[in-house]
Structure 1
Amino acid sequence: MREFSVPERLGVFGLGVAVAAAAWPYLTDATGLGLPCPSRVLTGVPCPGCGLTTAAVALVRGDLAGAAAANPVIVGLAVLTVVVLPLLALRTLGALPPPVRWSDRTRRRTEWAAALLACASWLFQVHRLGIT
């Protein structure tokens, strides 16, 4: 079994998010239950992922502006998913070779980029929700 690249894993995760976002409104309508952000409930401060459920549902419904307003990270995940899934399919069919393993330097840079993205998302949520 081959190892999957980070973008491939994120693309598959994005597909799972899309499926869940399509089903989520039906589940909440049928049960009346929602899923609040534990960080915001316990501390009053949003987490970097706050608004992702709302953003994913809006994006699945075709509301790009609403999705970006709730959490712009979802737009990047959606673009990555759309780009990576055909690549993953071609690799699965053998039309493309498996991915090349990332160097330690590339992995460190990616980790730093992810950490900065999480910080930026958190600052966006703090600003969006008017918490100062």
Structure 2
Amino acid sequence: MKHAEPYKGFSEKQTEYEDWLVGRYGEPMRKAVSHAPKLSDEQSKVATAELRDIEQSLASAMEKGIVPEARELDMLVERHHRWVSRMWPQPCTMDAYAGLADIYDHPDFARRYETLAPGFARWLPTAMKAWARRQAA
């Protein structure tokens, strides 16, 4: 698989994902997703490259046997949280970030994460939730 393949298709399917979120969480979600920042093509390329680097760093940590609850992941997960925060129209609280981990069970996300590393689709949400719990404490 080519390096960029797991990242293809998400912007093209944005409307489908937004509808899925509204179906899962209710009509208030429509307002939240309608205020997401609109990126230029160049901004989107830069953001995608940064996300790719973050996710691949996290997947590498998983492949090295680091458990998702490990504090040694804090800098990597914090970097992911900062990236998510820049993409969201509202503050990305610890509860919101942990909630984001819950939607990674969408088949497209799960397939993309499993492409990065087998087991990553379960590992990443666990790491996100563990980090968010530590920050909230």
- TM-score bracket, normalised by the shorter chain, equals under 0.3
